[in-house]
Chain A
Amino acid sequence: MSQPGTTPAGGSDVAARIHAFIVEELLAPQSAETFGDETPILSGLLDSGALMRLMVFLEEEFDVEIDDEDVVADHFASVRHIDRLIESKRETTGSS
């Protein structure tokens, strides 16, 4: 169950949902076991197809629009990085 209200910057609820999606939908079982919020995603864990499905998930789950310019290593290096991207998008649009 998600926590009520917003969480502090570095929002653990958002990070948890991102983490869950990646582990359940995108990773092979052997990588899923050791996958954490800091695990480097761009070490080869996701291919372009998985990245695409991740982007679709992020837009739908958090009701944000991810610009093409946002899709760079700095924003997708780990769950923590993605979490920061989503928070910045939500602040811009004011969605909860």
Chain B
Amino acid sequence: MGSEHDVVIIGGGPAGSLLASLLAREGRSILLLEKDIHPRDHVGEALTPSTNVVFEQIGFLEKMEDAGFMRKPGVVWTTPNARTGKFVSVRTSEYPFPGAPRPYSFNVERDLFDAMLLRHAHELGATVMQGVGAREVLFEGDRAIGVRVSPMDGWEHEARARVVVDASGRRCLLANQLGLRRKDAGFNQYGIYSWFRGVAPAPEGFEGYLFLHFLGLERAWAWQIPLKNGVWSIGVVTEKADFQKSGRSHEEFFDDLMGRNRALGDAMEHAERVRPWYIEADYTYKNDTITGPGWLLIGDALRFIDPVFSTGVDVATYSALHASDAIRSVLDGADERDAFGEFETKVTQGVDAWYELTTLFYDLQIIFTLFAVGNRFREKLVRTLQGNLYMPETLDRARELIDEMRDSYEKIMANPDNLLRPDTIKRLREVFEASAARSGARRTSPAKAPT
């Protein structure tokens, strides 16, 4: 039993649905295989402003407005001891990118958003199958020629295609099949999150903002994302070893970390959890290559870094966009190696820049935030965080920013007296207290506990 298509796409998450939409609307024959039945829960609610461009292109942006998803004007960063309402923030509308359809991005309930986008692909003419998982990609030599599908025991189907696209998300179906997936040794983060009601409302003027809370621990932070109807997505991210060492339950660990940030702790005082606990672990990886004869990887299936800059859907969106360009030209007769090679270069360069920026965030922590809001880097960083690092202008800006921030950071760390070094303030306080004690003077008691 078989069928023939221009493209078979494995996976109906944002990447797969966007690619299916982009190609189906121009009349290509698209088969999209989604293993789940939507709606289904998924992590990753915050979108970058860059994604609005592609949503608009496929006529989906209006649907998002109609669905009433929470609009996100910007990001707030809080430090552990800051009083509630005392924080720094950036607004994306300060530095809109050329042609930005909206001065905000959205926070989305993924079950609703993904289901809408999947249906949109169907409406544009893709053949969408839900509850049908791909078993393996079929090859002739090193060329991918289709996908084996088995909806149930005894029912086998070969869906043949000119191009096979793996959009299977973290499952990385094709990368695993070909042995290309590599876990990242430098990142071993662990996320625990859920949805909550009864969270204190955002301070006036900051409705819709994404809150990023530092927790006073290496490589740990929390997100607080407002959704519709008084629901918030809240998660803590920390090093996996920290969780394992703690020996505590997920609930206890979450509560403990949450309590390390005053603003977050205050906001959660009367909160109640309305979904199960979700865990994300071992989530940072890359693949040796993201294209081959007759195949491409898009979205999480090509790579996932970290949630801190909400890059997941930016990668999904733009890898889908550039995949559609590559596939279109191949279907129209262009050389496949050139077209796929261009896709690989563009996408890999952009994702590598996200990786560098994320690494910097974890190295710099609070200093990163200072760079974000200080005069020197603010514009470059606000522009970069809006996404789409896949074109020369934005990529060059991101690379410059990364180099300059890294350079500044090294200068700071090279000077033991620089107050921005994580340990300096504490050390100076200790020196002060020691000399005050020796001189017998009455000590000025510190107003706040040290971070």
* A residues whose Cβ falls under 8 Å from a Cβ of B: 25-28, 30-31, 34, 39-40, 42-53, 55-56, 59, 64-69, 71-73, 76
Stretch at the interface among B63-71, B75-83, B271-279, B317-325: B75-83
- Enumerate chain B interface residues (CB-CB to A < 8 A): 78-82, 86-88, 214, 366, 369-370, 373-376, 408, 411-412, 415, 417-420, 422, 425, 428-429, 432-433, 436, 444, 446-448, 450-451
Chain A positions within 8 Å of B418 at CB level: 68-69, 71-72
- In the bound assembly, the distance between CA atoms of A40 and B418 in angstroms comes to 17
Q: Which residues of A contact B370 (CB under 8 A)?
A: 52, 55-56
CA distance A59 to B378 in the complex (A): 12
Instruction: List chain A residues, Cβ under 8 A from B375.
Output: 59, 64-65
Beyond A43-B436, A48-B79, A55-B374, 15 additional pairs, beta carbon < 8 A = A27-B447, A28-B447, A39-B444, A43-B433, A45-B444, A47-B450, A48-B422, A48-B425, A49-B80, A49-B82, A49-B214, A51-B425, A66-B374, A71-B420, A72-B417
B79 and A52 contacting across the interface, CB-CB below 8 Å:
yes
In Å, the complex CA distance between A66 and B366 comes to 16
A27-B447, A30-B447, A68-B420 known; A44-B429 Cβ under 8 A: yes
Q: Which residues of B contact A65 (CB under 8 A)?
A: 374-376
Interchain CB contact under 8 A, A52 and B369: yes
A-B pairs under 8 A by CB, number? 107
Contact A44 B433 (CB under 8 A): yes
Describe A's contact surface by its main secondary structure: helix
Determine whether the beta carbon of A51 is less than 8 Å from that of B419.
yes
Q: Name 14 A/B residue pairs within 8 A (Cβ), A-sorted.
A: A40-B432, A42-B429, A43-B429, A44-B433, A44-B446, A45-B444, A46-B425, A48-B419, A48-B420, A51-B419, A55-B370, A56-B88, A65-B374, A73-B428
Contacting pair B429 A52 (CB below 8 A): no
Interfacial chain B residues near A30, Cβ < 8 Å: 447
Contact B451 A48 (CB under 8 A): yes
Partner of A43, one of B78, B79, B369, B432: B432
Chain A residues with CB under 8 A of B81 = 47, 49-50
Q: Which residues of B contact A59 (CB under 8 A)?
A: 374-375
Question: Is A68 a contact partner of B450 (Cβ separation < 8 A)?
Answer: no
